[in-house]
Amino acid sequence: ETGVTQSPTHLIKTRGQQVTLRCSSQSGHNTVSWYQQALGQGPQFIFQYYREEENGRGNFPPRFSGLQFPNYSSELNVNALELDDSALYLCASSLAGGGSSYNEQFFGPGTRLTVL
């Protein structure tokens, strides 16, 4: 069973640029959630994708967008990067509709984004 993987590991961008981060979900999982963890803070929920549709969103502006593909992998896109977007971006996968009471999320190692 393959765990959650993310790419790239590290990324440096300049203000105003656009960035795409990628996530491969754990084998058998159909749901992907994205979190932003700024330095010294806990992760903050960005959004979740299920069956290729956005299925919940946190308090993030529209320039944060995402995609989920038929193989359940996902992308996080951030447009017009700002300095405050510098953070560790975590992806988590889970299985919705599997009959359990709670869809436990399994986290990837994260992508460290630095905006200069």
Partner 1 sequence: AQSVTQPDIHITVSEGASLELRCNYSYGATPYLFWYVQSPGQGLQLLLKYFSGDTLVQGIKGFEAEFKRSQSSFNLRKPSVHWSDAAEYFCAVGWRANNDMRFGAGTRLTVKP
Does residue 16 sit in helix, strand or coil? Answer: coil
Contact between 66 and partner 1 (CB under 8 A)? no
Report the C-alpha gap between 21 and 10 in whole angstroms: 10
Letters for 29-58 (x = contact with partner 1 by CB under 8 A, - = none) are --x-x-x----xxxxxx--x-x----xx-x
Contact between 107 and partner 1 (CB under 8 A)? yes
Strand (E) or helix (H) holding 90: strand 87-94
Cβ of residue 60: shortest distance to partner 1, in angstroms? 11
Report the C-alpha gap between 84 and 113 in whole angstroms: 10
Report the C-alpha gap between 5 and 92 in whole angstroms: 9
Note the residues at the interface with partner 1 (CB under 8 A). 31, 33, 35, 40-45, 48, 50, 55-56, 58, 88, 90, 92, 101-102, 104-105, 107-110, 112
